[in-house]
């Protein structure tokens, strides 16, 4: 299966429509049965990720095979959660095919703001590596794979890059529309139709307000600061709550552009779309990748969309199942 196999219905080829449908409430309603099946098999875990950091996730054990094909850890995008449609649908598909599934919430995503006093930012890689190390200890089923979407795809690839040095027995990583070059992504959101910026900022402001209510003694953000743009609010966060010193240094801190993945030793697949309105495709063409990293670029699909027809099922589920099936074989 290749990215060029994705051929959406002609009325669904618009990149913005693909991107919006990916997380639409309609998909949640249509596939509520699959979602309920996954959640019925899920148990909550609070993981010790080192340095006092705790992260929440949900483990689902398969029951269709005598033994699981392995464990797949799913990572959501920025301001998503383990309840995001794409994570639930992918998890349900993998569970039905005999994989154990673990959906991990990043710090301050979902309903986890109370677990850690310091706020989330995209350079908090150590705790995500720590979460997978804890999962590898608790669930020895192999192979262990990680699949991420958008910012979660960025984390998945950085975890894979770190895995050998961290002693993490990771067998495979798959990233769907991963965030490659953060400065270009910020530019793209600012130049995209207004609703992208409004969508992300609404969710981020709600998250920051929740954090402030839980930890009122820590200096956070004023109402005026919360009303600024994504670029301005990110710069304020970096100055006040990180040691990076500048917005540019922070954005570079989680970039995987250029040759950042050239030494990746864990087999990995990157799936993206040429028309992604959030993650510019030119960043993928400029990457220097290792021989064990596969890059698949579809002509269309939007941002984490890949909606094939009016059933609203995402073709990414087929692609992910195919690649993981090869791993299990």
Instruction: Report the catalytic residues.
Output: 150, 276, 303
How many other C-beta atoms lie within 10 A of the C-beta of residue 46?
11
Residues in the chain: 329
How many other C-beta atoms lie within 10 A of the C-beta of residue 78?
19
Q: How far is the C-alpha of 107 from the C-alpha of 54, rounded, in Å?
A: 8
Strands, sheet with 42-48, edge to edge from the N-terminal-most edge strand: 42-48, 54-60, 100-104, 71-75, 144-149, 172-176, 268-273, 293-298
Q: What DSSP string describes 142-175?
A: S-EEEEEETHHHHHHHHHHHHHHHHT----EEEE
Q: How far is the C-alpha of 116 from the C-alpha of 247, rounded, in Å?
A: 23
Q: How far is the C-alpha of 297 from the C-alpha of 219, rounded, in Å?
A: 43
CA 61 vs. chain centroid, Å, equals: 21
Q: How far is the C-alpha of 160 from the C-alpha of 73, rounded, in Å?
A: 12
Q: How far is the C-alpha of 228 from the C-alpha of 68, rounded, in Å?
A: 48
């Amino acid at each position: 299966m290749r990215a060029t196999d994705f051929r959406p219905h002609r009325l669904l080829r618009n990149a913005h429509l693909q991107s919006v449908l990916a997380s639409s409430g309609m998909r949640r309603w249509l596939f509520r049965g699959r979602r309920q099946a996954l959640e019925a098999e899920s148990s909550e875990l609070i993981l010790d990720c080192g340095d006092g950091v705790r992260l929440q996730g949900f483990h689902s054990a398969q029951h269709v095979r005598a033994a699981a094909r392995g464990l797949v850890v799913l990572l959501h995008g920025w301001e998503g959660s383990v309840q995001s449609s794409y994570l639930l649908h992918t998890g349900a598909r993998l569970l039905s095919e005999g994989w154990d599934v673990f959906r991990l919430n990043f710090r301050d995503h979902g309903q986890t703001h109370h677990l850690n006093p310091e706020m989330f930012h995209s350079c908090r890689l150590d705790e995500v590596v720590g979460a997978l190390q804890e999962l590898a200890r608790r669930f020895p089923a192999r192979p262990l794979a990680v699949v991420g979407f958008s910012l979660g795809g960025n984390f998945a690839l950085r975890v894979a890059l770190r895995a050998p040095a961290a002693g993490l027995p990771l067998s495979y990583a798959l990233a769907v529309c991963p965030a490659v070059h953060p400065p270009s992504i910020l530019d793209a959101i600012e130049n995209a139709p207004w609703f992208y910026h409004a969508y992300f900022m609404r969710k981020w402001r709600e998250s920051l307000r929740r954090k402030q209510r839980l930890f009122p003694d820590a200096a956070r953000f004023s109402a005026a600061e919360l009303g600024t743009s994504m670029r301005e609010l990110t710069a304020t966060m970096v100055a006040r709550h990180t040691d990076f010193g500048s917005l540019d240094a922070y954005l570079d801190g989680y970039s995987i552009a250029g040759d950042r993945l050239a030494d990746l030793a864990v087999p990995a697949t990157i799936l993206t779309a040429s028309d992604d309105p959030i993650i510019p495709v030119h960043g993928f063409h400029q990457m220097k990748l290792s021989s064990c990293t596969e890059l698949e670029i579809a002509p269309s699909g939007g941002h984490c969309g890949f909606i094939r027809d009016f059933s609203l099922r995402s073709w990414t589920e087929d692609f992910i199942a195919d690649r993981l099936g090869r791993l299990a074989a």
